[in-house]
Structures are given as structure tokens and as C-alpha cells.
Structure 1
């Protein structure tokens, strides 16, 4: 038993040290708990205000996948753990009025994070399976030793949620500023330039042309600033926005981009990755061609490849901010840039 727990904790520690996504850590803890306790299914469950949510699970049964939220009624092992803060076992799920997808028995032990009962680690027996008589004792011993990994995964989960909220809030504020600039300052500059041209024609005063040109430059700079805050082209979708980037690029850009609308936060993140990658290729890579590819399935996958000199990295580049934005949405950003062989920047974003 002690050897099995030690091996399980080692595997979990390796996963935590690799900065794996919290959902992967919760799933691995569930798998190791099931193996240590000799059962076919286990889960990490987080208590919420109305009930509970499956944070991670392991087992052949498709019931209760990660993310499943459910209320806690008057009975059940989870309810007992929540109410008492103690390990519990419940052997009468078949007699409840709720469809439990064949769940027959459950044993659960509390997961304590920062002195509070955060949730529970639960073992489950479906169909003809029975839990070992000492299931609660085995599970409690394992949970106590795995608590640091659980706390670490929870802290990372909260950090990612916080970063995601910050990204969404910042994008909303940028969108508001872009709209205010377009409807306010830009329109006033356009009106002022038109009025100046009318005065110039009425007075036949060519000396006013220089002032009109300065107003035109100021208007264009303001438009560029607004595009940087929130790209207006995204109002027509990522395909149109990438097309606009390709049109403005001095280096030829070929693109194969999925059409149709995507979640706003994903569209914005994908756009900034593509825009920054094209800018870097134009400014630093001595590239003669750029290719952009975007596909969508369970996740959005994009790549921007150039035929330049290579040697790019995250250090000292705008890619650091892009990586933070992508990771805040639970995505991944990678750079492949061997010297002399071009650069490929790729990202995956969950949909």
C-alpha cells in the first residue's frame, strides 16, 4: 500500500512540476486514487454554492464527465462529507429517485485547501462492482498525502480563471475605447477637415492645404491607434480580419482561414497572434513569403510560417504578451525557429 501511494504521488508530482493544466492534474489524481484503492472509477469533486462540480475523473464509465455540475441532496457520500467534513460512505444510490447512471456505492473523503473543505475525492462502484471494506481508510490516507498537489492545481485553476477575466475585461475596455474614438474624435476630425476644404475652396487659399494634410495624417494615426486597441475588421470575423492584414502586408501573405464566427475572446487572441507574427516576419525575418493557416475543431489551431532567417524566440519580443493572452484562455503558444530555416508560430485555443 505504502509503495503504491509513493509511486502514485511521484507521478502526480511530475505532472504538477510540468505546469500541466489543472484539469489534467485532477484527472491524474482521480486515476491514481482508483488504482491505490483498487476500484474502477474515481473523481475529484469541487463544492460550489448550489452543489458540486466534477473537477476531474477517471474510469471507463462515461457518466459524470469533468465539468458536470449537480445539486447535493439529503443523502449520499458527498453530502455527508460537505456537512461533516469527515470521510463517508453511501451504499444506497440505487434506492434514490435520481438517475445515477448505474452508480451503486460511493466513498468520499474531504479535500481541505487553506483550512477549508474545498471538495472531496470520491471512489465509485458501478453495476456489479463493490467497494473494498476499507475504501474510506485507503482514500483518506491517499488524499492527505495528495493534498499539496490538489491545492497546487486549485491555485493554478484560480490563477487561470483570474487571468481569463482580466483578458476579457481588457478586451471589452479596448472595444469601448475603439468605439468612442470612432464615434467621437475621428468623426470630429473628418468634419473639421471637410469644413477646412470648403473654406479653402471658397477663399481660394492654397496655404490651407498643409493644414488639411496635417489633419489627414492625424486622422490616419488615430485610426491606426483605434485598430491597435480593437481591430474593427474583426466585426466581420477572423477570415475578413486576416484578409485585411494580408492586404496591408508588404510581404506576400497566403492564408487559409476557417470562415464563420468564433467565440469573441478566441477571435481576438487569434487575431493578435497572427498580426504580431506577420509584423515580426516583415520587420525582422527578411522573409519573402508568409503563410497563415487556421482550422477549427474541438479547438482553434493556427500557424503563421515564414521563409525568413529564423532564430526567433520569446525573449525580448512581443510574443511574451501573446503567450500570456493565449494561456489565459487555456491555450498553448509555440515557436519553432531554427536558424536559417524560417519561423513557425503556432497556437491552439479551446473552443
Structure 2
């Protein structure tokens, strides 16, 4: 079965295009988040620095004139006139558009807008920070009721809260709030935001390009290697198909050879039985008739006759060993029974037969001959090495295979002896293995000294009627 080679694609998109789309989304989101954060940090820092500078300048101007607030909630007329005069000068008017002085509780005690003097407002966060001793500033956040007049001007303003301390004790006696024109600050902030967005965007864009280039190169390499792998896989499959065809041809040839060999041996055995064996039998009969017991040469005739009988017995034994029974028309069960019956005729070993499975696949003549020779050799070995053991022949038929086993509870043997050749010229286990495997079967031996022996053969019938 061919392994499936999956392309590194999602839909019609390549891996590099998917990565680019994901990078644009992720990097775009990250750029927006980082850009907003950096811009806010820069704006807050610039606004705070501007507020600190403005507060230090204003403190030097208003602190001496507002010391009266340490002992009351009102400024004297002289102090008020002095403050108004200061804030009405041309340099101050160009810079400060309005101012307020706060006391605790959100009360305005003095302001450029006299209409709100004495009014109470809810303290803002910036006012609270100023009362705690910190200079606080904000830009374009004129959304409180007390800043309505300034917001109506429609110009960029820097709102600064600066604590006013008593000169000798250092305690906070009031908070000065003033609104400074911030046209230049607005331009500087816009430039800083553009610069920060440009830097952040460029950094993320460069990262995206570098990462995309790496992924694109990797994707190209993977695709090239994938194409090479597909080519190699195609070549491997072609070679595997060729090897399978060659193996099938080898198995077919081996089956035909085994069948022809068995037929040749069968014919040779028949010719030995019908030819030399008959002539030797006739010669023995004539010698017996030609020489009488009173003859002087009767002893010599008896020796000749005994030699002829021995030769005849050996020829008949060779004939029986060479010829296999006519099993072409027999089923698997009949082949097994026939092999066991033939063995029982010449051996004291009486094996049991166990037939398992429902319906066996149809076997070729080569398969049947292999089963017969397998049982012939394994039962002969069992009778030779474990004559007093309990022996069982098991035939298991399945849809696509047959399994033949011969088990005994004899003395067993060392598996290293499996590859040894037989002194008597028999096939032995090594010959059986070669025969079974030559037609595509599987041969297994399980044995240990003192634990009996099990020899099994599995065949996978592939076709009918090997000729």
C-alpha cells in the first residue's frame, strides 16, 4: 500500500503564504498594541516633563504672593492685584491663558475667571496628586466642570497642578492650577508619535520580512525535498513491483520445479519397481529352480539368492522413497490422512490427527506435495528420535492459508542441529525449510532439550492446478 505524502498546504495556500497571513495578523496586532503603549508612554513623559518645567517656573512667580493662603481662604486685594498684573503682562498672557488657586475640599479661592471664585468642585485625580505633593499635568483632557471655560477656547492646552508650600514649614497650603498654551507641545507630541509608530512599525515589519524569508526558504526546501521524496518513492514502488513480479516468477518456477522433480522421482521409482526389481525377482526364482538342495553348489546358489533378495528389497525401498502417492485429486484433509497412514504402515509411531478450521483454500499440486513431504519427513524424525512419545499432527485451514504442525513430547534437541545435513541423504529440517520457503511459505521449529519439539509450516496458496 502506497504511503500518502501530504503537501504542506492549507487549502490552496502554501506554508509560506499561511505564515505570511498569520504574521501580518499577529504582527499587525502586536504593532498596534505596542505602538499605542509606546505613544502613550512618550506622551505621558513629555506632558509630565513639560508640566514640571512649567510648575517650577510658576512656583517662583506665584509662591511669594500666595503665602497668605497659609492662614486663610482669601488673598488680600494687594496680592490679587499683583497676581493679575503678573498674568496680564504680554509674555505671561502669551503663555498662560487662565489660572486657579485651590484650597482643601475643592474650593477655588482665586482665579483669573472671577465668576468661579468661591465655587466648590469635586476634586479630580490630578488635584488629589497635587495635594499629596506631586506635580501633575494633562493634555487635552478638559472634560471636568471647572475646565469648561478653557475647553471652550478650542486651543491645545497643558493643564498643570502645582502644590504651593509655605516658605518656612514646607507644608502644602494650596494648589495652583494654570492652563498653558501647548501649540508647540502638540506638534512635538505628533512628531514623537509618528516617530514611535515608525520605529515600532519598522521593527515589526523587519521581523516579519526576516521570519517570512526564513519560512519561505524552508518551505521551498521542503517542497524541493518533497518532490525528490515523491520521485524516490515512485522509483521505490516501481522497484518493489518489479521485485514482487520477480519473486512471483521465482516462486512459480520453484513450484514447477518441485512438481516436476516429484513426478520424475515418482516415475523413477516406478521404473525401478517395474524394471530392475522385476528382473531381479525373476532371476531369483530361476536360480531357485535351477539349483536343487542336493546340488553341490547349493550353498553358492543360496548366497546368490540371498544377495538378489537383499538387492530386490533395497530397490523396492528406494522405489517407495522416491515415489509420492497420487495426491493431485485429494483435498487437504485427505493428503494429511494419507501421509499419516503411509507412515503408520512402516513405523510403530501412531500419531493423532487434529483437523481445525472450516474450509481450506484450494491447493496446487506443488502445495499438496509440500504438505505430504513435510509430514513424511517430520513423522520420520519423530519416529527416529522420539519413538515412545505422544505425537500429534495438527492441520488448521483458514481462508488464505494453511498451517500444518507436528508436535511430540520427546527429548527435543538443540536448535543448532536444525541446519545439519542428514547422513542418510534425507531432506532433514534444513531441506524442509528450503522447500517450504521456495514456494513462498513459512517454516518454524520450536524445541528445547527435554521439552519436546514442534515443527510447523504455513503455506499461502496463490493459484490452482500447477502443471
Normalising by structure 2, what TM-score? 0.41
User: In structure 2, do the counterparts of structure 1 residues 257 and 226 end up closer, same or farther at CA, with 3 Å as the change threshold?
Assistant: farther
Pairing partner for 1:336 from 399, 421, 446: 446
Pairing partner for 1:266 from 349, 361, 367: 367
Structure 1 residue 203: Cα displacement: 6.6
1:226-254 C-alpha deviation (Å, 9 max, x unpaired): 22222347588632332121231243433
Q: Secondary structure of 2:445's partner?
A: strand
1:302-332 C-alpha deviation (Å, 9 max, x unpaired): 1111111223533215111111111222222
Pairing partner for 2:432 from 298, 313, 322: 322
Pairing partner for 2:307 from 187, 210, 214: 214
RMSD between superposed Cα atoms in Å: 3.5
Q: Equivalent residue for 1:304?
A: 406
Q: Equivalent residue for 2:344?
A: 246
User: In structure 2, do the counterparts of structure 1 residues 183 and 247 end up closer, same or farther at CA, with 3 Å as the change threshold?
Assistant: closer
User: In structure 2, do the counterparts of structure 1 residues 218 and 233 end up closer, same or farther at CA, with 3 Å as the change threshold?
Assistant: farther
Contact 1:287–1:306, Cα closer than 8 Å, also in 2: no
Give the gaps of 5 or more residues in structure 1. 1-27, 39-136
1:173-196 C-alpha deviation (Å, 9 max, x unpaired): 212211221221111122222222
Contact 1:167–1:328, Cα closer than 8 Å, also in 2: no
Give the gaps of 5 or more residues in structure 2. 8-227, 422-427, 462-467
CA distance in 1, matches of 2:279, 2:307: 14
Contact 1:246–1:254, Cα closer than 8 Å, also in 2: no
Contact 2:291–2:298, Cα closer than 8 Å, also in 1: yes
2:248 maps to 1:147: no
Q: Equivalent residue for 2:323?
A: 230
Q: Secondary structure of 2:306's partner?
A: helix
2:379 maps to 1:278: yes
Contact 2:389–2:410, Cα closer than 8 Å, also in 1: yes
1:191-219 C-alpha deviation (Å, 9 max, x unpaired): 22222233345876752333222212111
CA distance in 1, matches of 2:237, 2:298: 80
Q: Could you say which structure has the higher helix fraction? A: 2
Aligned length, in residue pairs: 222
CA distance in 1, matches of 2:288, 2:396: 48
User: In structure 2, do the counterparts of structure 1 residues 348 and 215 end up closer, same or farther at CA, with 3 Å as the change threshold?
Assistant: same
1:45-83 C-alpha deviation (Å, 9 max, x unpaired): xxxxxxxxxxxxxxxxxxxxxxxxxxxxxxxxxxxxxxx
Normalising by structure 1, what TM-score? 0.53
Contact 2:388–2:410, Cα closer than 8 Å, also in 1: yes
User: In structure 2, do the counterparts of structure 1 residues 292 and 196 end up closer, same or farther at CA, with 3 Å as the change threshold?
Assistant: farther
Q: Equivalent residue for 1:193?
A: 284
CA distance in 1, matches of 2:237, 2:267: 45
Matches within 5 A, 1:68-107: none
* Range 336-345 or range 280-289, more displaced: 280-289
User: In structure 2, do the counterparts of structure 1 residues 157 and 37 end up closer, same or farther at CA, with 3 Å as the change threshold?
Assistant: farther
Q: Secondary structure of 2:375's partner?
A: helix
Contact 1:164–1:328, Cα closer than 8 Å, also in 2: yes
Max Rg structure? 2
Matches within 5 A, 1:42-61: none
CA distance in 1, matches of 2:385, 2:411: 9
Q: Equivalent residue for 2:457?
A: 347
Q: Could you say which structure has the higher strand fraction? A: 1
User: In structure 2, do the counterparts of structure 1 residues 187 and 160 end up closer, same or farther at CA, with 3 Å as the change threshold?
Assistant: same
User: In structure 2, do the counterparts of structure 1 residues 320 and 202 end up closer, same or farther at CA, with 3 Å as the change threshold?
Assistant: same
Q: Secondary structure of 2:411's partner?
A: coil
Matches within 5 A, 1:151-170: 151-170=242-261
Q: Secondary structure of 2:459's partner?
A: strand
1:257-298 C-alpha deviation (Å, 9 max, x unpaired): 79x996432232112211221222233346523222335454
Structure 1 residue 349: Cα displacement: 2.4
Structure 1 residue 138: Cα displacement: 10
1:120-172 C-alpha deviation (Å, 9 max, x unpaired): xxxxxxxxxxxxxxxxx998674234334334333333332332232222222
CA distance in 2, matches of 1:200, 1:218: 20
CA distance in 1, matches of 2:395, 2:354: 6
User: In structure 2, do the counterparts of structure 1 residues 232 and 142 end up closer, same or farther at CA, with 3 Å as the change threshold?
Assistant: closer
Matches within 5 A, 1:131-146: 142-146=233-237
User: In structure 2, do the counterparts of structure 1 residues 300 and 203 end up closer, same or farther at CA, with 3 Å as the change threshold?
Assistant: farther
